[in-house]
Amino acid sequence: MTHEQLLWWQSGIIYQIYPRSFQDSNGDGIGDLQGIIQRLDYLQWLGVTAIWISPIYPSPMADYGYDISDYRGIHPLFGNMDDFDQLLQEAHNRGLRIILDLVPNHTSNQHPWFLESRSSKENPKRDWYIWEDARPDGTPPNNWLSVFGGPAWEWDEQTGQYYYHAFLTEQPDLNWRNPEVQQAMLDVMRFWLDKGVDGFRVDVMWHMVKDKELRDNPVNPDYQVHMATYEQLTPIYSTDQPEVHDLVQQMRAVLDSYGERMMIGEIYLPIQKLMTYYGPDNNGAHLPFNFLLLSMPWDAQKIASAIDEYEHALPQRGWPNWVLGNHDQPRITSRVGIEQARIAAMLLLTLRGTPTIYYGEEIGMRDVPIPPDEVQDPQGLNMPDKNLSRDPARTPMQWDGSEFAGFSATRPWLRLGPQYKRPHVAAQKEDPHSQLHFYKKLIALRQSQPALLVGDYIQVHADHQALAYIREASGAPALLVVLNLSHKPCYLAIQHRTIAGRVLFATDETLEGTAVVNRIQLGGDEGMIVELDEDE
Ligand code: GLC
């Protein structure tokens, strides 16, 4: 494959926007669509090529938009459909693609479908959700737990049955075994595709089908008290059922009928299982999200073997992808420290496959501590003793040095970090050595080097400090990437390969242009990309 043959989502870089926190345009302290429009020039300047926007639909906001009450509308907090059409147009004018969040597993309990479904046992939509009788002793039909704490079954007094909710009680799960549900959701996809949306990030794809017999989940022997209560069981019957793949293929077929559209699946599963979501004939999700780097210890050897395992597990035409963070996870800068944030960026942007950047990563935003009485996230509120709130990674984007960081004219919905320590776009834009410029340069490099876009991945070294690999495509210079994941200087002798070349890009800019022959040394927290001489 040559880089000219790549599709937009293969050669592109995705940028995730959490819309409540990106840019407020109307002074209510909450981000909105007009705010995103105002920042499109910034995203274009940065060099990303697609935007994934977390849910913007009407919602009671029990789970901040992941509880949808109308799949075809825009929440007034974010604007209206004209704003959305304008966003789509303006993004496309700048060559930026738009990926929407699709939440097919569950609706809000305020969605008209659920209101009908719960109105009576005879209602035609009763079977659109998962209703079950109590066991003879009145307890729930099985032992399944909610991801957000407590049992996954909620008793409905009026109709005398339980309904299933993998997440909040306000988020009843749809019954995807019902063909009417399938058609309704495929129609939702068509609605947005007809408008010109370029793709979807599909929420909790691996949850969509549950065991027909609703068997009890087994106890997880590795559970520890600090973990979410959900982890007490291993969810082998409530998630990742074989039938899910037929549904994913149906969704894919809809996308394919529109030409070059794409689908990312949110799937937290071990590698071998994750791979099945590419579909038996590459007819499943285009990109089953690869979350390896979200949970790996920051250890060069462990990361090297994980990359290897992932590379080898990929199906033949399966396109890889990598992420460092998202709205559900601690920010990378907080996880690995500011010293390693640039190394993480180099990893993300030099591995094989599509990278997704979480807003704020490019300026080194950190998790912001949110005092208990300000916690918004239901996951945090429901399990207050476990420190599981996702708010710290969802704080407003830091645009400038003003009181509300240029995000809003008023106090934002979630507090900002301390002002004197707050990295921001305005200052970093002025400073050519900032993390923001580092990202911009790295992005430009990735997009201009065929070896990074389509080259093979060849691991050449991993020890307790550093990791090195070569990216190589025919007809283009091969690149050697060397990353020091430790704070101490490191010394590498690459085996089985003669190394000769010139530094193309480095955390220490003074190294750029210098020659590298065989032995490599790097300072703590340093990384570099070497363009190898052609005869190597
Ligand atoms: C996904 C979303 C998360 C949400 C959950 C329930 O994991 O990323 O934010 O709370 O689904 O919809």
Question: Which residues lie below 8 Å from residue 156, measured CB to CB, with a gap of 6+?
Answer: 118, 131, 162, 163
Assigned token pair, 335: 């996880």
C-alpha dist (Å) from residue 381 to 148, 229, 325, 417: 9, 13, 22, 20
Mean pLDDT, range 391-406, rounded to an integer: 98
What is the average pLDDT value for the chain, to the nearest integer?
97
Residue 323's pLDDT is what?
98
Per 3-state DSSP, what percentage of the chain is helix, strand, and coil (rounded to 5)? Answer: 35, 20, 50
Alpha carbons 354 and 453: distance in angstroms, whole number: 9
Ligand 1 atom with the smallest distance to the CA of 103 is 12
Q: What is the distance between the terminal CA atoms of the chain, rounded to a whole angstrom? A: 21
| Residue 512 pLDDT greater than 50, yes or no | yes
Whole-number Å distance, alpha carbon 20 to ligand 1 midpoint, is 15
Ligand 1 contact via 192 beta carbon (within 6 Å) = no
Cα–Cα dist 56/103, whole Å = 11
Spacing, Cα 379 to ligand 1 middle (Å): 10
- Residues 503, 527: contact at Cβ < 8 Å? no
pLDDT at 498: 87
68 is written with which tokens?
Answer: 């949808």
Three-state SS string over 293-355 comes to HHHCCCCHHHHHHHHHHHHHHCCCCCCCEEECCCCCCCCHHHHHCHHHHHHHHHHHHHCCCEE
- Determine whether the shortest distance from the Cβ of 268 to ligand 1 is under 6 A: no
Quick check: 360 and 399 in contact, CB under 8 A? no
pLDDT tens profile 225-273 = 999 999 999 999 999 999 999 999 999 999 999 999 999 999 999 999 9
Count other C-beta atoms under 10 Å from residue 266's C-beta: 21
SS3 74: coil
- Name the catalytic one among 198, 266, 391, 472: 266
- The CA distance from 189 to 174, in Å, is 16
How does pLDDT run across 74-130, given as a tens digit for each residue?
Answer: 999 999 999 999 999 999 999 999 999 999 999 999 999 999 999 999 999 999 999
Q: Which of ligand 1's atoms lies nearest the C-alpha of 379?
A: 10
Strand (E) or helix (H) holding 288: strand 287-288
Amino acid 518: pLDDT: 84
Closest by CA to 342, choosing from 509, 531, 482, 525, is 525
Distance 332 CA to ligand 1 centre (A): 19
Q: Rounded to whole angstroms, how far apart are CA atoms 348 and 350?
A: 6
Task: Check pocket membership of 63 for ligand 1, CB cut-off 6 A.
Answer: yes
The pLDDT confidence band at residue 536, using thresholds 50, 70 and 90, is: very low
Q: Which atom of ligand 1 is nearest to the CA of 327?
A: 9
pLDDT at 274: 98
Atom 3 of ligand 1 has which residue's CA nearest to it? Answer: 328
User: Going by CA atoms, what residue is nearest to atom 7 of ligand 1?
Assistant: 204
For 181-186, what is the mean pLDDT? 98
Question: Looking at residue 496, what is its pLDDT?
Answer: 80
What phi and psi values does residue 356 have, to the nearest 5 degrees?
-120, 125
- Summarize pLDDT for 448-494 with one digit per residue, the tens: 999 999 999 999 999 999 999 999 999 999 999 999 999 999 999 88
| Candidate of 61, 204, 238, 266 to mutate for ligand 1, largest count of ligand atoms within 8 Å of Cβ | 204
